[in-house]
A and B are shown apart, each in its own frame.
Chain A
Amino acid sequence: MSDLQHINVKIGLANESKLDGERVVEIFHGWISKQASPDEGVLIDVADYRHVPEGPGILLVGLHADFGLDYADGRAGLRYNRKGAVGGDNAKRFKQALSAAARACAKLEEETKGGLKFARDGFDLTVNDRALAPNAPETFTKHKAELEAFAAALGGGSVERLNAGEPRRLFGARITLKKPLDLAKA
């Protein structure tokens, strides 16, 4: 099975109307100041793209990964973008990205005192590298079993290809879970 790297996970925001962007900017600055990254990496800067419709929103830029309150495709959510390579196999990399995203969500929920609430019923997993994972049906066929095994390890769920019919977009899958995702333990 070929190596997938640069895994992205996006966990949807369940209460977008309550989103206070200013507060999120402040929280992200706080994480940089304390170097308290949910994935223990180096944090560098905050980039605020809220002026761009359906854009990357509020981005916490790190050395090996970015965390963003992302608005792409008109859906707000926390997106973890792994930039540095991760060792091990694909299953390990899926888990690393999901854990980092989930921990960031849990931290944001806690620090906004419930102001932000993230969905527990699933997430989007994409591979931010077209050379490693072209968005083609064959890529999905090749990695479907791995993705299903990953869903199964989370208590079971369905795996559906994302961006099908849009070969220029990133390859990925929507994973819908049977059991609510435990953000702290994912």
Chain B
Amino acid sequence: MKASNALWKERLAGKIDEALAKEVDTFEMEIELRKQGKVDEKVFAETRLRRGTYGQRYDNGQRHDGTESKKLPFEEKLTKGPMTAWDAPGMQRIKIPYGGLNPEQLEVLADLAEEYSDSIAHITTRQDVQLHFVHIEDTPSVMRRLAAAKITTREACGNSVRNVTGCPFAGVCRDEPFDVTPYARALAMFLLGHPDAQNFGRKFKPAFSGCAQHACGLTAMHDVGYTAVVRTVDGKEERGFCMVVGGGLGSVPYQAKVFEEFLPLNELLPTVQAIAKVFGKHGEKKVRSRARLKFLVADWGLEKFKAEVAAERKKLAPDPRWTSMLPKADLEDETPLKPPGEMPSLGNDERLQHWARTNLREQRQAGYVVATLALPLGDITANQLRDLADIARKFTKGTVRATVEQNLVLRWVSKADVVELYKALSAAKLAAPGASNIQDIVACPGTDTCKLGISSSRGLAAELRGRLVAKGTALDRAIQDLHIKISGCFNSCGQHHISDIGFYGVSRTVSGFRVPHFQVILGGQWEENAGSYGLPIIAIPSKRIPDAVERITAHYLKHRQPDERFTKYVRRVGKGPIRELLEPLTKDLPDPAKDATLFSDWGDPRQYSIGDIGKGECAGEVVSAYEFATTEAERMVFAAQLKLDAGDAQKAGEEAYAAMKMAAKALVQLQYDDVTDDAQEVADEFKERFYDTKVFFDPFAGGKFADYYFAAHEKRGQKFTAEFAKYTIEEAQLFIEAVHSCYNKLRTEGIGTKP
């Protein structure tokens, strides 16, 4: 803990917006009360989460060193939440609405990263900044210093309105009808701490985009998404938004649905307020896994949801801020520092040419470009942040934004300055080419710092990035243009569903040992604001993923039709042949005693939880039966996907349910050989043995995945629409993963007796 915390409080007194200062004082007091045992740990956990103060891996005081789980000798008994040691370092998330940053804010972030964290600021896929390894008692100082730079961490986590994201090119993009920035800002300010947005069962994520065709805003995967549109009424142009609701990635991704084709500007704030009220009143509160808005919209259907929102809207007492917070029409949000210019000659410098081709984007305003700083894994050092602040001041009026691809962009660069800018960025080691290309990999924190991580998303990303950067421009342009996104688990923080090639972490047991794997997801669409989601193909050992990428890209190059995009190629070729291509990578794993490479994860020399594997009571033949049955269940999920691709939603849905039943039965059979194939019996036995006893429960997700199975079981006779079948397939895949986890746990703790 810092010795200077009291000094900062004194020094910044009167220099922070009063409301922000009060909030931080209150939080500091809550910390004190918790230390005195006067606040319950669960209440304190939600309190700190709402201020962006998150837990981090190992904060339960346990760490596996590859052979056994060991206790970390934290000093005190005090906790900052259930199973969360007080002293354990945590993550501080910092909300940056629409990613907008100025040089003074960059400098503050630099100082905080250096003094309270590990000298790294991490840009997230939702345009936040995260600092890791921060002590809870330092967080009030962090918040005060941020508040002095007009940044708040309020509602950066917890069941609240999260960062309002927005297209980083808003205001300078050629394809937008108008700049969404001031509206994103208005919505963020309006909802921050709004009394109608305090009673959610889960988080609520809004996003803005300037156009429908590009990916910058990713509106389709948000709880509420706004795309700028203009219509003409009586010869007069009117601005508004196409508003969508009920989207979200998470374990099972949902595409948002159009709520209003044209929402007039003056309805922006009252409508979101009404939605917040409906979500607060009717959204699920008890079952966390069903508590996002997407489930309410899906359960009710869009029409009922719209009717409820309309009814709520009518009841709202008029609020002058609905209009006063909106910008004056045509007010320029940003202006340039330098006059527009012509693009200079780039000479023979190949790296500069490569950078100019991949990292510069023409602005709508002639003579200006936006430069993208491709940050490796979204990381930037404190020194680089300061250098960037200087560069932003020298070339622009400090117009910087974070992007959903974990990069930063510098807007309003005069074309005449491009070469000078490149030199300045190079000196700061910020001129890596390949922005938004295959090497610009997006990855969530994964096992590095996230408590839920299963496989090392950042380790894999670093490895792939290293290999792809080395190949550089030698890669075919069609390959360079692909996107790779990686999540450490099914929760999708790395947005693997909306990538050409996506991965999420899973684990498998091979010959009695756990092996880190990644599920391969192909065919997601990044464009059109995350226009469609990819589906799982096959799980492959982590260390063989680079080979998988080689195989997939080589096949694409060889078999693509002229100018065929990857998503279309996957659809045309079909998932079956691609699975066949990758299947050999799942076979012939070496004996770990002779070659342990596959049994540890990227960047982590520890044997991958090998110490968890004990001798269970299971007989060899039962294990074989289990492995056989779950392999078959995985094949069935895949077959269900193929059926869906072929347009047979009914068969696809039925097959996905059958796969769940097969996996559930595999677990039941470990304890009860005589279970029949009867669907009701399998469900009942599964419930009694694994659900009611909580044996199947995940420490974080609880019984969520079993709920998927039970819901599919209940609905098994119903008609499957394409959408319903798709969700059932996703849920079947996740249920099978959970069966694998449960099986691993059973092997460690003992299978239990057979009645």
Contact = CB atoms under 8 A, between A and B. Distances in A.
B74 interface: yes
Contacts of B66: 29, 33
A3 B3 contact: yes
Nearest to A126: B114
B110 interface: yes
A130 interface: yes
A51 B73 contact: no
Contact of B119 (A6, A44, A48, A55): A55
A26 interface: yes
B66 to A, nearest CB: 8
A83 B118 CA distance: 11
A86 B449 CA distance: 27
Contacts of A61: 89, 118, 133
Given A32-B65, A51-B465, A61-B133, A130 B115 contact: yes
A72 B11 CA distance: 29
B105 to A, nearest CB: 14
Interface in B599-616: 603-606
Interface size range on B against A: 35 or more
A85 B606 contact: no
A131 interface: yes
B137 to A, nearest CB: 11
B381 interface: yes
B448 interface: yes
A49 B57 CA distance: 17
A3 to B, nearest CB: 7
B11 A131 contact: yes
Given A61-B133, A72-B381, A168 B386 contact: yes
B58 interface: yes
B383 A128 contact: no
Interface in B279-318: none
Given A29-B605, A50-B462, A54-B383, A131 B7 contact: yes
B7 A51 contact: no
B429 interface: yes
A138 interface: no
B132 interface: yes
Interface string B86-123: 01110000000000000000010011001100111000
Contacts of A47: 118, 132-133, 448-449
Contacts of B604: 25, 29, 46
Q: In the complex, which of the residues B2, B8, B63, B379 has the most CB atoms of chain A within 10 Å of its own CB atom?
A: B2
Contact of A129 (B2, B107, B384): B2
Contact of A85 (B1, B11, B88, B459): B1
B324 interface: no
B4 A51 contact: no
A25 B604 CA distance: 8
A45 interface: yes
Interface in B51-69: 57-58, 63, 65-66
A168 B110 contact: yes
A46 B466 CA distance: 20
B120 A25 contact: no
Given A22-B605, A132-B3, A54 B466 contact: no
B429 A6 contact: no
Contacts of A137: none
Interface string A13-24: 000000000100
B386 A51 contact: no
B462 A56 contact: no
Given A55-B119, A170-B114, A33 B70 contact: yes
Contacts of B133: 45, 47, 61, 66
Given A44-B72, A51-B376, A85-B1, A32 B118 contact: no
A45 B429 contact: no
Nearest to B8: A131
B643 interface: no
A42 interface: yes
Nearest to B70: A33
Contacts of A5: 2-4
Contacts of B11: 131
B377 interface: yes
B135 A83 contact: yes
Contact of B4 (A45, A53, A132): A132
Contacts of A132: 3-4, 7
A22 to B, nearest CB: 7
A63 interface: yes
A83 B379 CA distance: 22
B111 A73 contact: no
A78 interface: no
A50 B132 CA distance: 16
A47 B111 CA distance: 20
A158 interface: no
Nearest to B432: A53
Given A42-B73, A45-B58, A130 B111 contact: yes
Contacts of A114: none
Interface string B1-25: 1111001100100000000000000
A52 interface: yes
Contacts of B462: 48, 50-51
A106 B28 CA distance: 41
Nearest to A45: B58
Nearest to A48: B603
A129 to B, nearest CB: 5
A52 B3 contact: no
Interface in B355-414: 376-377, 379-381, 383-384, 386
Given A25-B603, A51-B379, A52-B376, 18 more contacts: A25-B604, A33-B66, A42-B74, A45-B58, A48-B448, A51-B462, A53-B429, A56-B118, A56-B119, A66-B133, A73-B383, A129-B3, A129-B115, A130-B115, A132-B4, A168-B110, A168-B111, A170-B114
6 contacts: A22-B605, A26-B605, A47-B449, A48-B462, A168-B110, A169-B383
| Across the A-B interface, the 3 shortest Cβ-Cβ residue pairs | A131-B4, A53-B429, A33-B65
